[in-house]
Amino acid sequence: MSTSHGSAVPTQATPAGARAGGSHEPVPVTPPAPGFVAKLGGGVLELFRTARELYSLFVRTLYYVVRGRREKGAVAYYMYEIGNRSLFFLTVVMGFIGMILVYQAGVQNKRILPDLSMLGATYLEYLVRDLAASIGALMLATRVGAGIAAEVGSMVVTEQVDALRMCAADPIDYLIKPRFIASIIMVTCLIIWSGLVAYVMGLLTAWVMFDLNPQTFMNLQMVKYPALLTGLVKCLAYGAAIPIVSGHAGLSTFGGSEGVGSATTRAVVNTSLAVIILNLIISATSFLVFG
């Protein structure tokens, strides 16, 4: 998360050297390594600085969503890049995850009770409320987040972003906003699709592995509107967080190609972290609101 650009080595005159050699040239002195408290304080300050920058980026993005320029085809292009190009990846991943979840849940359930009649209902409830959105968003964070960070980071190190600024164009309006809009829409669509895939694959797994009747598995009675609303809110939140966090990582890139790689890694880590934290916040809020 660090955005610091290294530390300049301080120099100061050494009175002892001056006395010994009689020379007036400054001698470089290495400062003492920061202690534990200094490291802790520095980390916390860095965290707050990053949070403030993310917040600033988010607010400016929202501003440009409303008041920004309209570039024809930009949003559709990014929707295609984020959505359609991720469809196969997400379908495969969520299909396997659905199979694994139902298989593990069934095995654990059978150890306690040989009754799997409610497996489908409870699986669907957790899928709608949490699993589809969170797991799907984590998968998208790796693919989409890394892509955004690499793309924006490359533009930063090749000074294209500086050129935009020279032209009085805000890079957030040009680079982040279309990705933000496209991500919110496509992440929601992809998660809905991937949830269906995970459910169908879980149904097939339960049918094949546990001989559970698909009609029994297709039980919607545990899913309530609050759960569906919570899942949709998570979709929107993750869709907003992925381009903001990875765009921030890309915009804060420094150095050459090595910096782009570092920004990509940072984007994946921070986006995944953002998904987890948002999951906690939205789940807790949902619990407090809906019970």
Partner 1 sequence: MASPRSIEVKVGLLMLVALAILAGFILIMGGINFQPTYDVLVGFDDPGGLQQGAPVRIAGQKVGKVADIVFRGKCTAPESTAQPLVCVRANLEKRFQADIHANATFYITTAGLLGEQYLAIEPGSDDAAPLASGAAIRGLDPPRLDRLLAESYDLLTTTVSALREHRKTIREAFLGLTATLKGTGAFMEHNQDRLDRIAANLEDLSIESKGAITDAREKLINNPRIERILERTEALTTQAANLSARDVPALLTDARAALASARRVVDVLGSEEQIALIKKTLTDVSSTVETAKGIAGDAAAITAHIRRGRGTVGALVMDEQLFDDLQEMARDLKHNPWKFFWKE
**Please, which residue, 49 or 224, has the CB nearer to partner 1?**
224
224 touches partner 1 (CB under 8 A): yes
Q: Smallest Cα–Cα separation from 54: which of 246, 259, 211?
A: 246
In angstroms, give the least distance from the CB of 88 to partner 1: 12
113 touches partner 1 (CB under 8 A): yes
Tokens of residue 231, six digits: 């899942």
45 touches partner 1 (CB under 8 A): no
169 touches partner 1 (CB under 8 A): no
Which amino acid does the sequence have at 214?
P
Binding segment for partner 1 among 17-25, 93-101, 190-198, 207-215 (CB under 8 A)?
190-198
Binding segment for partner 1 among 39-47, 191-199, 241-249, 253-261 (CB under 8 A)?
191-199
144 touches partner 1 (CB under 8 A): no
CA 213, CA 211: separation in Å to the nearest integer? 6
Site for partner 1 in 70-89 (CB under 8 A): 73, 76-77, 79-80, 83-84, 87
Do 249 and 262 contact (CB within 8 A), yes or no?
A: no
Do 219 and 124 contact (CB within 8 A), yes or no?
A: yes
* Interface residue with partner 1, options 65, 164, 189, 204 (CB under 8 A): 189
30 touches partner 1 (CB under 8 A): no
117 touches partner 1 (CB under 8 A): yes
188 touches partner 1 (CB under 8 A): yes
228 touches partner 1 (CB under 8 A): yes
Tokens of residue 163, six digits: 């050129």
In angstroms, give the least distance from the CB of 250 to partner 1: 21
How far lies 257's CA from each of 18, 143, 150, 154, 157, in Å?
Answer: 43, 19, 10, 8, 8
Q: Which residues bind partner 1 (CB under 8 A)?
A: 73, 76-77, 79-80, 83-84, 87, 113, 115, 117-118, 121, 185-186, 188-190, 192-193, 195-196, 220-225, 228
